[in-house]
């Protein structure tokens, strides 16, 4: 599967697949900024590489979850209006406005003429209700996987049983929020290695590892874990704002 991917910031990427354009987890507020939700406070340290005005027309937004500001901030929430949004079932209920809610392994198709993309929700384990996504292009044997905010856990092994994953866009950062607990709630480098081995993917695109103070691991940590495993050739680091084609 051929994709062009532009990392905008945090977990926000622009995906161009077969003439369709998808946007993930939109975060577009200027930085630095501080957000309170519940008893926790999250601090952003860097803004997006592109502004909303610089985006092309978007066919759909893939929103892993709607409750955390490092995946959906104020500007990102405003961007959702009038667009197709695919998210969790609980998130669709909160967002309204025709948002499509999917439970894990449920699917939704986006079509234009004779072309289509099939979007399937995958399990995720985070703080709250979260999903990842598998995107399939009509006529292609291989698929794209987007992890959403998750740690590695056994249910993710089923992805490789159902799909042939060529490229995996993984949410790293080993995010830690004191109010939730000491354990990371997104992938660390070692878990990313485990997940790659489970998926059997050819390409790994790391995102969600910078621009927020609660991320405990960055690029060097991910590189180190993959280097120790002898898997660095699978990593494809993106330059924010610059399109990269894989496949």
CATH assignment of the domain containing 212: 3.60.15.10
Confidence band of 180 (pLDDT split at 50, 70, 90): low
Which whole number is the average pLDDT over 33-43? 88
Extract the runs of DSSP E, i.e. beta strands, from 130-243: 132-137, 143-146, 165-171, 203-207
Bond preceding residue 52 cis, omega within 30 of 0: no
- Count up the domains in the chain and report the number: 1
Query: How much is the pLDDT for 141?
Result: 95
Residue 98 falls within a domain, yes or no? yes
Residue 90 falls within a domain, yes or no? yes
Residue 243 falls within a domain, yes or no? no
In the predicted model, is pLDDT for residue 108 greater than 80? yes
In the predicted model, is pLDDT for residue 38 greater than 80? no
Confidence band of 181 (pLDDT split at 50, 70, 90): low
pTM of the model: 0.96
Residue 23 falls within a domain, yes or no? yes
C-beta of residue 128 within 8 angstroms of C-beta of residue 148: no
Question: The domain containing residue 135 runs over which residues?
Answer: 3-238
Q: Tell me the percentage of the chain whose pLDDT exceeds 70.
A: 98
Residue 246 falls within a domain, yes or no? no
Which whole number is the average pLDDT over 228-238? 97
| Cα 233-7-53 angle, rounded to 5 deg | 165
CA distances from residue 49 to 11, 72, 78, 149, 245 in whole angstroms, order as listed: 12, 16, 18, 21, 18
Residue 25 falls within a domain, yes or no? yes
Bond preceding residue 151 cis, omega within 30 of 0: no
Query: How much is the pLDDT for 179?
Result: 66
Alpha carbons 23 and 11: distance in angstroms, whole number? 10
What tokens were used for 198? 């489970």
Q: Tell me the pairing of strands 12-17 and 20-24.
A: antiparallel
In the predicted model, is pLDDT for residue 61 greater than 80? yes
Alpha carbons 52 and 34: distance in angstroms, whole number? 20
Q: Please count the other Cβ atoms lying within 10 Å of the Cβ belonging to residue 231.
A: 15
Residue 247 falls within a domain, yes or no? no
Which residues lie across from 133 on neighbouring strands?
A: 121, 146
Residue 245 falls within a domain, yes or no? no
| Cα 132-98-65 angle, rounded to 5 deg | 25
Q: Which residue has the tokens 């197709």?
A: 84
């Amino acid at each position: 599967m051929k994709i062009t991917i532009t990392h905008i910031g945090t977990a926000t990427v622009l995906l161009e697949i077969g003439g369709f354009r998808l946007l993930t987890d939109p975060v577009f507020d200027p930085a630095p900024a501080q957000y309170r939700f519940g008893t926790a406070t999250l601090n952003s340290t860097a803004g997006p590489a592109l502004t909303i005005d610089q985006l092309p027309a978007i066919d759909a937004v893939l929103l892993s979850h709607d409750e955390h500001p490092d995946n959906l901030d104020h500007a990102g929430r405003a961007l959702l209006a009038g667009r197709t949004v695919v998210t969790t079932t609980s998130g669709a209920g909160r967002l309204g406005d025709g948002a499509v809610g999917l439970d894990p392994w449920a699917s939704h198709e986006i079509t234009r003429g004779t072309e289509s993309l099939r979007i399937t929700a995958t399990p995720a384990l985070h703080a709250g209700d979260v999903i990842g996504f598998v995107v399939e292009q009509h006529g292609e044997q291989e698929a794209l996987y987007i992890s959403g905010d998750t740690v590695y856990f056994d249910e993710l092994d089923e992805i490789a049983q159902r799909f042939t994953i060529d490229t995996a866009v993984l949410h790293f950062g080993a995010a830690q929020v004191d109010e939730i607990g000491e354990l990371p709630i997104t992938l660390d480098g070692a878990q990313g290695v485990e997940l790659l081995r489970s998926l059997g993917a050819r390409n790994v695109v790391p995102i969600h590892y910078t621009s927020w103070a609660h991320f405990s691991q960055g690029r060097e940590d991910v590189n180190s874990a993959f280097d120790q495993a002898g898997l660095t050739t699978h990593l494809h680091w993106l330059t924010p704002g610059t399109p990269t084609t894989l496949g």
